[in-house]
Amino acid sequence: MLILVSGLLLFLTALALIVLQVTQPNARYAWLVAVGGAMLALLSVFFWLVQMPFEFMLPAWKPASVFLNPILFQADQTSFPFALSITALTLTILLTAITRSALTNSFTWAGTLALGGIGLFSVTANNPLTLLLMWGALDLTELLTQLQAVNGAANNEKVVISFSTRALGSGLLLWANILSIAQGNTFDFQSIAPSSGLYLVAAAGLRLGVLPLHLPYAAESTVRRGMGTALRLISAVSSLVLLAHVPVESLTSTLTPFLLTLAVIAALYGGWMWLRAPDELTGRPYWIVSLAALSITSALSGSPLGAIAWSNALILVGATLFLASVQQVWLNRALLVGVWSLSTLPFSLTASAWAGSLGFFLPFVIAAQALLMAGVTRHALRSSGRTALDSQPGWANKVYPAGIILLITFQVLLGFWGWDGARQVGAWLPALLASLLTFGLIWATPRLRILNPVRAHWVSNSADSGLATFYSGLWIVYRAVGNVSQAIITTLEGEGGMMWTLLFLALFILLLTQGIP
């Protein structure tokens, strides 16, 4: 029941904001209502600890022969850190909204709260049917939001393509569900058939652009820091939570090394592009791809704890950078806590990341990790493009830093106390190597041209890359096949359609009669 309480606090607050905007457009306390609801939702998640683990189930759908699994949610040591991260992100977006004059109104805040509620139910979903419903809600929300925010047929097409790739990932999860039911399994996330395990990895990888490597995100629009951050990060984490449920027995497949190779390539590519991005918002798609790839790598190496750690680092460390829109020296330096959170050093947020067996792939994931850490350092200390905190109203000087510090605090808190398996020494030698390589990259960045940030237009339009060109080629083939199909339909439905139908029927009968002895 506590899961429902936390989610309803977010949804009811969003509804209250919409009502206020319609009835009292000039109400000055709308922001206080939004922050109050988000704060209560965050506090309510801590009350889960009193009863964990516990379940919340909606009434079963009819007929029971078709809907074998009910809508089921569970709060446990796996979903709890995800729920904390999502509610903390929601609250921080609202606290830092006071420094963003554009696109900050009650409808935007209501959308952020609703996304937080959907994300909360996504990470607590305890069977594929429930998770698929939450994925559908997130995907439709992003589709409608992006279609309203972008201009031009080309950008609209990119939005539809990104929606299609996520829909294919949802289809893989549905297929895994069908296979498991065919084998007689109930198929919740505690009794997954081993044969379905790699389908779960592939579903998450396809939705996040890792398997195969692609950017499943439309071109950036006017929805960037606040609502854009909520859309990107909550959608990503709702997919990554699936990796924590992958059965270890499924990793003995011959496909595992192949999937590991693809994930490591995606991690290196994303880390490299993140390091060279001109700013953190331009590099955000690559940040998500690289962290998602490291999560998949941990899951495939037999470490679901590592997948949880990287997933929470994606949302907590990433959000501090994407929401830091104001320049303040001491606050920028505080963002460097994110480097420690990614370091896998003892008792850090990602200390349990490399608990699995990576073997040959270990040097490559260390390199990807170092690229991410060096990129966080550069983006945290970047001052261009940010307004001074002193130029904000007096009360904003207190509220805005509180939002950023909240996420930084949760990075430290979850590293020591977040889930079963946190507070570890971990693999300290790879962590030390990654840290040394990070220092080397930071030292070499201003000295080597190849490490300097590329121009904004080189990375902001993913269509310029060879990878995007390949996927664009596939899309052209798809449209060509669609045009041929449409031409056939038009021909058959036109004035001569009946004649063409009779002709095809005569040819079909002729072929059958020739085959009779």
Q: Scan for tokens 């994930």, then name that residue.
A: 263
What does each C-alpha distance from 86 to 91, 240, 406, 412 come to in angstroms? 9, 13, 12, 16
Tens of pLDDT, residues 294-345:
999 999 988 888 899 999 999 999 999 998 877 777 888 899 999 999 999 9
**Secondary structure (DSSP) of 229-269:** HHHHHHHHHHHHGGGGG--GGGGGSTTHHHHHHHHHHHHHH
CB 126 within 8 A of CB 244: no
Average pLDDT over every residue of 464-473: 54
Tens of pLDDT, residues 489-504:
565 555 555 665 666 6
Average pLDDT over every residue of 275-287: 89
**Secondary structure (DSSP) of 39-100:** HHHHHHHHGGGGT-SEEEEPPPPS-TTT--S--EEEESTTHHHHHHHHHHHHHHHHHHGGG-
Query: Residue 283: what residue type?
Result: G
Q: Which long-range contacts (CB under 8 A, 24 or more apart) does 16-23 make?
A: 17/106, 17/107, 17/109, 17/110, 17/113, 18/106, 18/107, 18/110, 20/106, 21/105, 21/106, 21/107, 21/110
Q: For the chain, what are the domain ranges?
A: 2-464
Q: Helices (DSSP H) in 323-395: which residue ranges?
A: 329-334, 337-342, 362-381
Tens of pLDDT, residues 445-466:
877 777 776 653 334 444 444 5
> What are the backbone dihedrals phi and psi of residue 278, each rounded to the nearest 5 degrees, phi first?
-70, -25
* Residue 270 confidence class, pLDDT cut points 50, 70, 90: very high
Query: What's the number of CA atoms in the CB half-sphere (13 Å) around residue 180?
Result: 28
For residues 150 and 115, give the distance between their C-alpha atoms in angstroms, rounded to a whole number: 20
Query: Can you give the pLDDT at residue 113?
Result: 94
Residue 99: both structure tokens together: 């420094």
Residue 455: both structure tokens together: 């121009």
Query: Can you give the pLDDT at residue 93?
Result: 93
Residue 510: both structure tokens together: 């002729």
List Cβ neighbours of 115 (8 Å cut-off, separation of 6 or more).
90, 138, 141, 227, 230, 231, 234
Does the pLDDT of residue 226 top 90, yes or no? no
Q: Helices (DSSP H) in 344-463: which residue ranges?
A: 362-381, 396-416, 428-444, 456-460
For residues 145 and 111, give the distance between their C-alpha atoms in angstroms, rounded to a whole number: 10
Average pLDDT over every residue of 229-246: 91
User: b/e per residue, 471-497, with b = 16+ CB within 10 A?
Assistant: beeeeeeeeeeeeeeeeeeeeeeeeee
For residues 125 and 404, give the distance between their C-alpha atoms in angstroms, rounded to a whole number: 28
Q: Scan for tokens 């960045």, then name that residue.
A: 445
Residue 455 exposed, middle or buried by CB count within 10 Å (0-12, 13-18, 19+): exposed
Query: Can you give the pLDDT at residue 36?
Result: 94
If DSSP codes are grouped into helix, strand and coil, which group holds residue 327? strand
For residues 314 and 85, give the distance between their C-alpha atoms in angstroms, rounded to a whole number: 10
Query: Can you give the pLDDT at residue 457?
Result: 37
Range with the poorest average pLDDT among 151-160, 297-306, 345-354: 151-160
